[in-house]
Structure 1
């Protein structure tokens, strides 16, 4: 084991601890913790349909759900609650050709209302889903 000797002529060993290795170890531990922390996300996962190359019989009827800033949910222009929305979605699944469901939330609509509507749509198992009016969000913020 060796000790550092001062250059000022004093033969006593230095009693200071070299901090460089300690700092290096702390930085490595910090990087390891950053890498191992899982990313926290809050999202509603929706299984989107897989595109099919086969020609399909497209129904011209499109159902539209709109959400305004006051939290009112409308189905093709008629105000509905979440229970009625569930019933309407179940009725569309019984049709021979499922119509496309278009969702258009207002840019200033509350997130919790949109989240609840999206959860109802996911639980219903809708196969054709589209978001319309996305260009309005460019000017909203």
Structure 2
């Protein structure tokens, strides 16, 4: 409150705002300190190089599906995920290499279908069947 030399009997109608502003600034600083820092990071699983997926030929690649459901890429056994990885890598080559598919006559349909679905999703445009002559007497 202000000190005045003249005494007056009327009440003073002003409030000293300095302490209120000081309290508000202290509260603001406390809120800023206690709010945790927000990180703007996006967790992302990046693809890794597949060391067990075999090599990719620039002219033609062969996928063999064996009787027991094993998928073989150019002579190297791979999983379905490894096949998908190889197909995506293969389709990025220009011009796109041929994909030769040779399913065993007694291979399960589900495995053969999974191979064709993976080829379709990878946008394989040059696909051929190997060993059709074995089915002539079928």
Query: With structure 1 as the length reference, what TM-score do the two structures score?
Result: 0.55
Report how far residue 60 of structure 1 moved: 6.8
1:116 alignment partner, SS class? helix
Show structure 2 runs of 5+ residues with no match.
Answer: 1-56
Report how far residue 71 of structure 1 moved: 0.4
Contact 2:58/2:93 (<8 A) preserved: no
1:79 equivalent in structure 2: 77
Q: Which stretches of structure 1, 4 residues or more, deviate above 6 A after TM superposition?
A: none
1:127 alignment partner, SS class? coil
**Distance of 2:58 and 2:118 partners within structure 1:** 24
Query: With structure 2 as the length reference, what TM-score do the two structures score?
Result: 0.56
Aligned counterparts, 1:114-125, within 5 A: 114-125=112-123
**1:103-133 deviations in Å (ceiling 9; x for gaps):** 0001111111101111111111101111111
Report how far residue 96 of structure 1 moved: 2.0
Based on CA coordinates, which of the two structures has the bigger radius of gyration? Answer: 2
Show structure 1 runs of 5+ residues with no match.
Answer: 1-58
How many pairs does the alignment contain?
Answer: 82
2:131 alignment partner, SS class? coil
**Distance of 1:120 and 1:96 partners within structure 2:** 19
Structural RMSD (CA): 1.6
